[in-house]
Amino acid sequence: MSLVIAAAILCVLGAIALAHAYWATGGVWPARDGASLARAVIGDGRARMPPPVACLLAAAAVAVAAVWPMLLVATATTAPPRAVIVGVGAAIAVVFLLRGVAGYLPAWRRRFATEPFAMRDITLFSPLCFIIAAGYGALLLPGVVK
């Protein structure tokens, strides 16, 4: 079961990382232009996407979070010590949990109120962050998932 959870996180976050890398190259899918893409995925009222380097940094961070569950379920000894793998995994889980909570806070709702992001954040992005945090939690807690 642990491998299934790790693979699911890898697939979901891998796709998100690829989207960020694609946006870094100037791609606008699933929108029709940069302004509508910014409204859909950022939601803070900006008229264009962040610079390519910011999108690449986001892609790299999400890619690390995508691969990390595979380290958590690895049975062979890996380059980093096990304590580092677990510690970083716990930190990633907390980041996703906090991002999920943030999506429902009034200050966040005011700051990221542009549609369609605002509705997608409540119905998709924040819940997905909770699910990813729960997946990490299941992989981190001994005996929860075998």
Contact yes or no for 70/6 (Cβ under 8 A): yes
CB burial string 47-71: b at 16+ within 10 A, e below: eebeeeeebeebbeebbebbebbeb
For the chain, percent of residues with pLDDT exceeding 90: 86
Q: How many angstroms separate the Cα of 72 from the Cα of each of 64, 83, 87, 88, 114?
A: 12, 10, 10, 10, 37
Cβ atoms within 10 Å, residue 136: 26
| pLDDT tens per residue across span 63-85 | 999 999 999 998 766 577 888 89
Q: What pLDDT, on a 0 to 100 scale, did the predictor assign at position 77?
A: 63
pTM of the predicted model as reported, rounded to 2 decimal places? 0.92
